[in-house]
Amino acid sequence: MNLRNIAIIAHVDHGKTTLIDVLLKQSGSFRENQRTEERMMDSNDLERERGITILAKVTSLEWGETRINIVDTPGHADFGGEVERILHMVDGVVLLVDAAEGPMPQTKFVLGKALKLGLRPIVAINKIDKPEQRAEEVLDEVFDLFAALDANEEQLDFPVVYGSAKQGWMADDPSGPQDSMAPLFDLVLKHVEAPKAEEGTFRMLATTIESNPFLGRILTGRIVSGTATPNMAVKALSRDGKTVETGRISKVLAFRGLERQPIEKGEAGDIVSLAGLAEATVSDTLCAPEVKEPLSAQPIDPPTLSMTFFVNDGPLAGTEGDKVQSRVIRKRLYDEAEGNVALKVEEAPGGDAFIVSGRGELQLAILIENMRREGFEICVGRPRVVYQTSENGQRLEPIEEVTIDVDEEHSGAVVQKLSERKAELLEMRPSGGGRTRLVFNAPTRGLIGYQSELLSDTRGTAIFNRVFHAYEPYKGEIPSRHTGVLISNGDGEAVAYALWNLEDRGPMLIDPGVKVYRGMIVGEHTRGNDLEVNVLKGKQLTNIRSAGKDEAVKLTTPIRLSLEAALSYIADDELVEVTPKSIRLRKAILDPNDRKKAERAAKSA
């Protein structure tokens, strides 16, 4: 059978997963009356809740006499490590661009990786049904982007289709027939080359990894040469050519629609999953025992942000989760790093803590969210950037390219706030509909915690995107949080009357009846210093009553911080305590006397 391997790449929310839904339906992968969900490829709970793709996934469909393997990739910059690996498995990419927004930072990132590998993209301009669509301008912007990324002449001569994945059509021009995806299918068959099989025995580069309760470790990749059959002897070579392990393939699985089915033989050019190896991981070459040289694998971009994960040592530890021991947390983190090459885990000096480095706040927040759903209790420190040192000993920090679409009246406030955070304005131009597009180069340090501030400055109307740009010399001190916090001075349950009396001191972070302990953060202080308060003190009851004395206490609604907001809110001496039921903020040192000693020691040092 003829075969094509393609990936669909785009910026977050430009319609990749919706497009794959329609391609599967129109190719006859489902019965007419079969019930299907929206965004079928987003199988993970968090993906469905947040409406983003986190893990790259493969599906397969048939169009005429040809089978097409399609890879759905994440669109968020924090999961760029997934996209980089996936592009090695395919022979062509469909670059999806929103007809109103045009090329965005992640479009540039993934397209740059695809062009570097020599892939020839097909450009699909999606969401053409939007009233604010500007397809012709967007096509010019895409061409400029190709030129800016040093595309060769073949790549610059890209075919274009226009359409709406939501409405289920693509056409060669915007006014074409709006009835099916056939033009896109035909273009894939015509423009993307069939995979070429190399000479020699079995070789395959492991691109993704997952664990299965029945089959153990499953490695997915494209077979470069030879064939793979169940019970065949294989070995795994690391990137530097060392033998990682030898073993046998227990099962060869291929993608058919959304299902993975066992097959008797995997042939060169096909994307398959192999089970049976216990230690091989991503970027290893799985091959026949006689092969000596590994396949070349591109190094993954380095992590830019790190967080320290601590064992929960608070008074409420173990009351809401069942996985609290350091050995259990350690195993979970190292298992995650094995399957996700963009993450790096190391043990912190002093024990019972682990430094986890990744691409951004969202990637690390997703890991923490998954852990709390599995029953873990952990404490997490403030995100810190990963510095590097240049050859001449200069300190380098990660810089990100930030694109913000904002209403014109708010652009001044955004430029001012980001300038304070050492960002450099590169471009300011209208983006249609009375909105302005601002492009900055900003230090990653300055962006920690900025998104919530941006949304309040722009009344929730700004669209914020960021992507790693480069390591550049250290930009100097950046001011952190301006306010102090209110800290509980006792253990118990918060009382409404006490919270009501403290409202003059600043907004609260907790509700009445919530369990608190000494050292836990219960509110934000309106001034710059921290203040210890009593949230347990009830109203003194007497036998004398007077009119109006017993009115119900009316409390202002407390600030409810999401996990990402909590991580970016805390200062260096604070932690976020994460359990399956709660997200609490606390001081790293709970005892006030020990805290003062540590502050004095830090000042004298």
Predicted pLDDT at 39:
43
Distances (CA, A) of 479 to 418, 457, 474, 506, 597: 11, 18, 15, 21, 24
List 534's β-bridge partners, or say none: none
Q: Would you list which residues are annotated within the binding site? A: 13-18, 126-129
Inter-residue contact 188 to 92 (CB < 8 Å) = yes
Q: Which amino acid is at 532?
A: E
Query: Residue for token digits 């590994």?
Result: 294
Nearest CA to 585 among 549, 556, 558, 561? Answer: 561
- Count of Cβ atoms closer than 10 Å to residue 310 Cβ: 18
Query: Residue for token digits 């097909």?
Result: 122
Q: Would you list which residues are annotated within the binding site for GTP? A: 13-18, 126-129
Q: Per CATH, the architecture of 2-191 is what?
A: 3-Layer(aba) Sandwich (3.40)
CATH assignment, 203-287 = 2.40.30.10
3-state secondary structure of 294: coil
Inter-residue contact 142 to 97 (CB < 8 Å) = yes
Inter-residue contact 517 to 531 (CB < 8 Å) = no
Q: Which amino acid is at 88?
A: H
Q: What is the pLDDT of residues 152-184, one digit of tens each?
A: 888 888 899 998 888 888 888 887 777 888 888
3-state secondary structure of 200: coil
Q: What is the pLDDT of residues 538-584, one digit of tens each?
A: 776 666 655 455 456 788 888 888 888 888 888 888 999 999 999 99
Q: Which amino acid is at 364?
A: L
CATH assignment, 389-473 = 3.30.70.240
Strands (E), 484-540: 485-488, 492-493, 515-516, 520-524, 531-533
In this predicted structure, which of 179-188, 211-220, 515-524 has the lowest mean pLDDT? 211-220
Structure tokens at 407: 């209403």
Break the chain into its structural domains and give their ranges: 2-191, 203-287, 389-473, 485-604
Task: Give 105 or 139, the one with higher predicted confidence.
Answer: 139
Q: How confident is the model at residue 355 (pLDDT cuts 50, 70, 90)?
A: very high
CATH of 485-604, one of 1.10.260.40, 2.60.40.420, 2.40.50.250, 3.40.50.10860: 2.40.50.250
CA distance 378 to 580: 10
Predicted pLDDT at 281:
79
Predicted pLDDT at 36:
46
List 219's β-bridge partners, or say none: 209, 274
CA distance 170 to 264: 36
